Amino acid sequence: MFKYVNQPIEKIDGLALVTGEEKYTDDFSFTNMLYVSVLHSGYAYAKIVDIDDSGARKMHGVVEILSYKNVKQILYTTAGQGYPEPSPYDTLLFGKTMRFVGDNVCAVAAESKEIADEALKKIKVTYKELKPILNLAKSEGSPIIIHKDDGAFPKIPVFYDAKKNIASKVEANVGDFDLAFNKSSRKFEYDFYCSYASHCAIEPHASVSYLDGRGRLVIISTTQVPFHVRRIVSHVAEIPVSKIRVIKPRLGGGFGGKQEVLLEPIVAMMTWRTKRPAKLVYSRREVFKSTRCRHEYKTKFSVGYEADGKINALHLDALENSGGYGSHSLTVLANAGSKTLPLLNKIDNLRFTGMGVYTNLPCGGAYRGYGATESYLGYGQVIDMVCNDCNLDIVEYYKKWAIKSGETSPIFQALGEGKEGVAMTIGSTSLVECLDEGAKLSNWYEKKKLYGSNSGFNKGKRLKRGIGMAALMQGSAIPEIDMASAYIKMNDDGSFNLNVGATDLGTGSDTVLAQIASEVLDTPVESFIVYSSDTDFTPFDTGAYASSTTYLSGQAVKKCAEEIKKQILKVGAEMLSLSPDEVELNDSRVTANEQTKEEVSFAEICQYSLYQKNQFQIQAAASHFSQKSPPPFAAHFIEIEVDTFTGIIKVLNYVAAVDCGTPINPVTAEGQAEGAIVNGLAYALFENYYFSPHGKMLNDTFGKYGVYTAFDIPPIKVKLIKSYEETGPFGAKSISEININGALPGIANAFYNATGKRLFNGPFTPEYVLKVLSE
């Protein structure tokens, strides 16, 4: 039994958040600060012939202007990933070629935001417009080349062919797909499509920078990856790493959108040149257009199977739209296969082929789900198709065929992130229990039968009901790549500083990590002063992405706390004139075993160690990297009502049974699941980027884009079903991403149950639904 872990402890920053005390990036201002505005390209594809900024430079209050004319042309990737990054070096902070509407033209720093904005209007840019590629299917091998002679290159040895507009390519083969597909008695092929989407963290991207008293550059930023920011800013702005400090204050959500290094180099360069503080805050429209989004995807599934439902062969072919630059192109693509195909691990012949292509549309990046979301639309439906064709229940099917504890999938080794993957045997899974519990909570068997075509329930009705489900998996951190570390020191009163590089972006990870340390040290969560993250004061962490914080950073904290425990026991024993094996930790004290009832408090121990005898600071640091990425699992059940007159799909009920190992904090874990489900629902039903014929995003406001409000949500029931992951802290795995993947396949399967028709293209807008119904 646990005391502090697996408890619904209030977030340590909770009251500060809801009383408005916490400071976010834009809440920091400095005297003599410059305000920065960025001019973005209005063209999808154009060369800048000239920039005449003389008019702007003459304006009172304009201090500095950055453009290709005075910024060194250094290729980099904006993807905040481990080094060397698996994303191609194809981006310039300010270059001469504009590759999407929203690309950076130049930036102005001025005494006020109003002056900076006004100055942008006075900058005369002469463009030579080029014919763009605005369709991902038309990119590969097009005579229009998006990265032509610009020196773009892959930083790691992977396939890259800019001359053919190919930003990334991945292939994995298990068995012999062709042979098995051809020999199968039943087979089909279907195409699926997933749209663009924006993260819509309510806090827009922002960065503020200043020089400290010793001339070092300090950047406060909305980032999930402070250490990558430090490294990438150093590269782009040619400032030594030792001269840069990156601080992540409170963050107003990220979802992958802030795993990108976009604003930081701009303010860094402004401050470095002018020696003055500089602030850049993107407008919501800039966030939509100019930052990163979910990659647009086309997938094709080819499945060969037998009458008993056994799948002999499955081929997933994915075509990804990277947009103007290849940020996360390769890794999202690889995850489109690696986070789906192992789920049904008994398919002997698997093929995954994927290609990411450049277009002149907005750039993809990291987005919760990271490729898996895009694949599950098709994957979840083709399994449903096989089951329907073979007259099998899909829940029973997953129970029979899904990967079990002690089993593996060759895909784990075949598909890595820019290199070969890591072989892995599944340790923990409660997927079967999730399937059973989800089926029970959603009345699956009764409703499936009731709404099915045989019952006549929906016959002749305008409003047709259906229920669908999907089983899901994701990962927990990137094996053998991601690394996290933690530092703990003890204070006089028995409290502890817990400094972590891990980045709480609103997930509650500061609290979760404190709970893990609490459990090891048997002292309340309030005893921990958690600080995340600051490249000067917190040890390295690759950052908050890939569902890594609880699993990976949590294990670093656990190791670190265990080292502290040893030191506390040693001092406590010394104070009690006993040997360390004669004492134990007990509710913020060290107590003697049975014989005597002597004890010393944590406060006494720390005071002794600091002031009295054999003085030293009780402190420790620990790092952790993982050889596994244990998947969380989930079973989602969705009941819908389709209005066949209007095409509107109304979700009536959403049940998600989720295996995240031990939920360190059940309330924050549920919150992660609920947030992901609602984001997934909105993505499935209407979130999209709509473009003008010239590639300009048209729905670039919250109102036009449409984010779900409280009024839009259906009843949602999240049930966490424990398993115990031996390699995770107190049995924990991840939960942050997986639950965004269920809505697309779940709703589509429910739609089939209701209408007998299939939804192949997301989002399932009323227009699209009516089109499908009329076919």
Partner 1 sequence: MKLPFKINNKQKHLELLPNETLLQALRNNHFTEVKCGCNEGECGACTVLLEGKPVNSCQVLAMSVQEKEITTVKGIGTLYTPHLLQKSFAEAGADQCGFCSPGMVLASYSLLKENPQPTREEILVALDGNLCRCTGYVKIIDAVEMTAQKLHSNKLVME
Note the residues at the interface with partner 1 (CB under 8 A).
Answer: 8, 10-11, 13-24, 26-27, 199-204, 250-253, 255, 281, 283-284, 505-508, 667-668, 670-671, 674-679, 701-703, 707-711, 713, 716, 718
Cβ partners under 8 Å of residue 2, min gap 6:
519, 662, 730
In this complex, which beta carbon is closest to partner 1, that of residue 319 or of residue 682?
A: 682
Q: Say if strands 206-211 and 278-281 run parallel, antiparallel, or are unpaired.
A: antiparallel
Min. distance of Cβ 665 from partner 1 in angstroms?
Answer: 9
In this complex, which beta carbon is closest to partner 1, that of residue 273 or of residue 284?
A: 284
In this complex, which beta carbon is closest to partner 1, that of residue 144 or of residue 652?
A: 652
How many Å apart are CA 46 and CA 48, to the nearest integer? 6
Min. distance of Cβ 20 from partner 1 in angstroms?
Answer: 3
How many Å apart are CA 14 and CA 25, to the nearest integer? 18
In this complex, which beta carbon is closest to partner 1, that of residue 203 or of residue 384?
A: 203
Min. distance of Cβ 690 from partner 1 in angstroms?
Answer: 17
How many Å apart are CA 265 and CA 245, to the nearest integer? 13
What tokens appear for 176 in the block? 């012999």
How many Å apart are CA 342 and CA 687, to the nearest integer? 28
Min. distance of Cβ 758 from partner 1 in angstroms?
Answer: 27
In this complex, which beta carbon is closest to partner 1, that of residue 109 or of residue 200?
A: 200
In this complex, which beta carbon is closest to partner 1, that of residue 152 or of residue 470?
A: 470
Q: What is the CA radius of gyration of the chain?
A: 27
In this complex, which beta carbon is closest to partner 1, that of residue 221 or of residue 349?
A: 221
Min. distance of Cβ 670 from partner 1 in angstroms?
Answer: 7
Map residue 189 onto helix, strand or coil: strand
Whether the CA torsion 143, 144, 146, 149 is positive or negative: it is positive
Map residue 488 onto helix, strand or coil: strand
Pick the closest to residue 510 from 17, 28, 83 (CA basis): 17
Taking a C-beta distance cutoff of 8 angstroms, is the pair 386, 309 a contact?
yes
How buried is residue 625: exposed, middle or buried, by Cβ count under 10 Å (0-12/13-18/19+)?
middle
Q: From edge to edge, which strands make up the β-sheet containing 463-473?
A: 463-473, 633-643, 649-659, 716-720
Q: What is the 3-state secondary structure (H, E, C) of 123-172?
A: CEEEEEECCCCCCHHHCCCCCCCCCCCCCCECCCCCCCEHHHCEEEEEEE
Min. distance of Cβ 417 from partner 1 in angstroms?
Answer: 26
Min. distance of Cβ 743 from partner 1 in angstroms?
Answer: 11
How many Å apart are CA 532 and CA 348, to the nearest integer? 45
What tokens appear for 111 in the block? 């005494």
Min. distance of Cβ 611 from partner 1 in angstroms?
Answer: 32
How buried is residue 767: exposed, middle or buried, by Cβ count under 10 Å (0-12/13-18/19+)?
exposed
Taking a C-beta distance cutoff of 8 angstroms, is the pair 282, 275 a contact?
no
Map residue 745 onto helix, strand or coil: helix
In this complex, which beta carbon is closest to partner 1, that of residue 8 or of residue 141?
A: 8
Pick the closest to residue 658 from 708, 579, 721 (CA basis): 721
Min. distance of Cβ 523 from partner 1 in angstroms?
Answer: 21
Min. distance of Cβ 37 from partner 1 in angstroms?
Answer: 14
In this complex, which beta carbon is closest to partner 1, that of residue 23 or of residue 148?
A: 23
Identity of residue 33:
M
How many Å apart are CA 452 and CA 462, to the nearest integer? 15
Min. distance of Cβ 766 from partner 1 in angstroms?
Answer: 20
Map residue 190 onto helix, strand or coil: strand
In this complex, which beta carbon is closest to partner 1, that of residue 288 or of residue 551?
A: 288
In this complex, which beta carbon is closest to partner 1, that of residue 122 or of residue 284?
A: 284
Cα angle for residues 318, 321, 326 (degrees, 5° grid): 110
Cα–Cα distances in angstroms (integers) from residue 562 to residues 73, 516, 524, 548, 607, in the given order: 48, 10, 16, 20, 20
In this complex, which beta carbon is closest to partner 1, that of residue 62 or of residue 251?
A: 251
Pick the closest to residue 77 from 227, 261, 334 (CA basis): 261
Min. distance of Cβ 709 from partner 1 in angstroms?
Answer: 5
Min. distance of Cβ 549 from partner 1 in angstroms?
Answer: 14
In this complex, which beta carbon is closest to partner 1, that of residue 44 or of residue 669?
A: 669
How many Å apart are CA 611 and CA 633, to the nearest integer? 50
In this complex, which beta carbon is closest to partner 1, that of residue 8 or of residue 55?
A: 8
Cβ partners under 8 Å of residue 673, min gap 6:
634, 656, 658, 718, 720, 735, 739
Map residue 754 onto helix, strand or coil: helix
Min. distance of Cβ 75 from partner 1 in angstroms?
Answer: 33
| Side-chain-side CA neighbours of residue 257 (13 Å) | 27
Min. distance of Cβ 24 from partner 1 in angstroms?
Answer: 7
In this complex, which beta carbon is closest to partner 1, that of residue 23 or of residue 462?
A: 23
In this complex, which beta carbon is closest to partner 1, that of residue 358 or of residue 683?
A: 683
Min. distance of Cβ 162 from partner 1 in angstroms?
Answer: 35
